[in-house]
Amino acid sequence: MAFHYSVLDLSPICEGGSAAQAFQASRELAQLAERWGYRRFWLAEHHSMRGIASAATSLVISHVAAATHRIRVGAGGIMLPNHSPLVIAEQFGTLETLYPGRIDLGLGRAPGSDQATARALRRQGLNTADSFPEDVAALQAYFRGGQGPQAVRAVPGEGLDIPIWILGSSLFGAQFAAYHGLPYSFASHFAPSMINEALQLYRQNFRPSAQCDKPTVMLGMNVFAAESEQRAQQLFSSLQQQFLALIRGTPGQLPPPVNDMEARWSPAEKGHVERTLACSVIGDPDQVAAGIKRFIERYQPDELMLTAQIFDLPERLRSFEIAAQACQFVGGSAVDYG
């Protein structure tokens, strides 16, 4: 089965590093991803996280799009309940005007933060996750354009063709995307437990729309590739430590890899992290290709969204290069940017 492959980048701030370094690393990764045939480069909205620099997601998208030429750049995603739909329509209308034909808008209904931060973002009286369907409808209406002289208009934004994706890790997003005929991106890279049910629900209930005439599925996957399996496993320990810190309520910057995780977690914590990161492929080039092949055969996605929280930038770049080669070997469609 042919599929496309893309990058999800969180602009990780590594221990001892800075947000400025994270932004430069994202820029460099995007430039190389374009060269290696990745279809998209997405950034994610997170707040009050010392290890993630992409909180002002639309600004980082512009930073990356300005440094590339043809690769699609977008949000994976914007947590819509944090924002006024009009503001997002204006921001992404601006991005699409600056970088025409290259901007994607993935939408999620989670806060992308803890509850205290969510309250600080939304302030009293702002919408919550319960208003997500109405917020999406309002956003689509702004892109279509207002009716009548008194209509509120998104300028820029009105009349622009900006693809909307629905992000999710539960049945709600699958059902919503199917009903509205929108492409669906499932967060299997950190919340894989409902992947089978969500994909079945989406594919069986999909209703064609002007944007999308058939079910279109993107799946997240962690890929940690190196020249040896041992080194790949060591690189993976940075992500394991990061999720362990989340479980303990002590999130921080991306830590350097370690040789052995066993002394760092309890059996219960280990089980939790392993279940959370079950959709991960770790190993040398041959092992990564084999792992991607198994995943594609099992779930039949139209696109893979690959991510890798790797501490050392040269090793992060090399991992994405190996992953691109593996995807092409398995049958993935590299984008030829000319």
| Domain coordinates in residue numbering, the chain | 4-330
| Residue pLDDT, tens place only, 246-258 | 999 999 999 999 9
Report how far residue 130's alpha carbon sits from residue 20's, in angstroms, rounded to the nearest whole number: 35
Q: Burial code of 273-303, b = ≥16 C-beta within 10 A, e = fewer? A: beebbebbbbbbbebbbebbbebbeebebbb
| CB contact set of 249 (below 8 Å; sequence gap of 6+) | none
Q: 176 near 166, Cβ under 8 Å? A: yes
Residue 330: predicted pLDDT: 94
CA 79 to chain centre: 12
What is the structure's pLDDT at 151? Answer: 78
Residue 319 CB contacts under 8 Å (≥ 6 apart), including other chains: 223, 224, 225, 226, 232, 235, 308, 310
- 4-330 is classed in which CATH architecture? Alpha-Beta Barrel (3.20)
C-alpha distances (whole Å) from 170 to each of 47, 142, 177, 200, 332 are 21, 27, 12, 12, 27
Q: Which residues of the chain have pLDDT under 70?
A: 1, 111-129, 147-150
